[in-house]
Amino acid sequence: MRSSPALYPAVEILHIIGFVILVGSILALDLRLLGLGRTLAIQPMAQLLLPLSRAGFLLAISMGFLLFSADASHVVKNPAFQIKLLLIGAALINIVIAHAVPWRYVEHWGDKASGAAKVTALLSILLWLGVICAGRLIAYF
């Protein structure tokens, strides 16, 4: 893939687009859970944004696998890449916890998310921004 002048950059661009869709949609929903935009109802917003975040994740992960396969022996040793994988794992665990506990009671929230939902939202923002930072740092290690 690295030998093609267009393929590697195209895959890298698609990887970035995937993360933009993923993190953008999650960031918007998480900020709403934290209290911004109280005039927007949480459930319809989630119904719009969660499928977008899933699509962005699938695009980012699939393109990430292609990028990794282009230079796996070097990338796997990269500390920024290792941190990125740990942060992705932690973010996915946070999603499982969020949907297993606070999101089960979303219909009772009204216009204000529960305390547990706010904690998972704040953690989500920190983890996904950490993923982006670690991913960007891969080029420097």
Contact indicator for 45, 29 with CB cutoff of 8 Å: yes
Q: Would 62 be classed as within a structural domain? A: yes
Domain count across the chain? 1
| pLDDT band per the 50, 70, 90 thresholds, residue 108 | confident
Look up the pTM and report it: 0.91
Q: Would 1 be classed as within a structural domain? A: no
Q: Would 24 be classed as within a structural domain? A: yes
- Domain span holding position 57: 6-138
Q: Would 75 be classed as within a structural domain? A: yes
Q: Would 44 be classed as within a structural domain? A: yes
For the segment 33-83, what is each residue's pLDDT rounded down to a tens digit?
Answer: 999 999 999 999 999 999 999 999 999 999 999 999 998 999 999 999 999
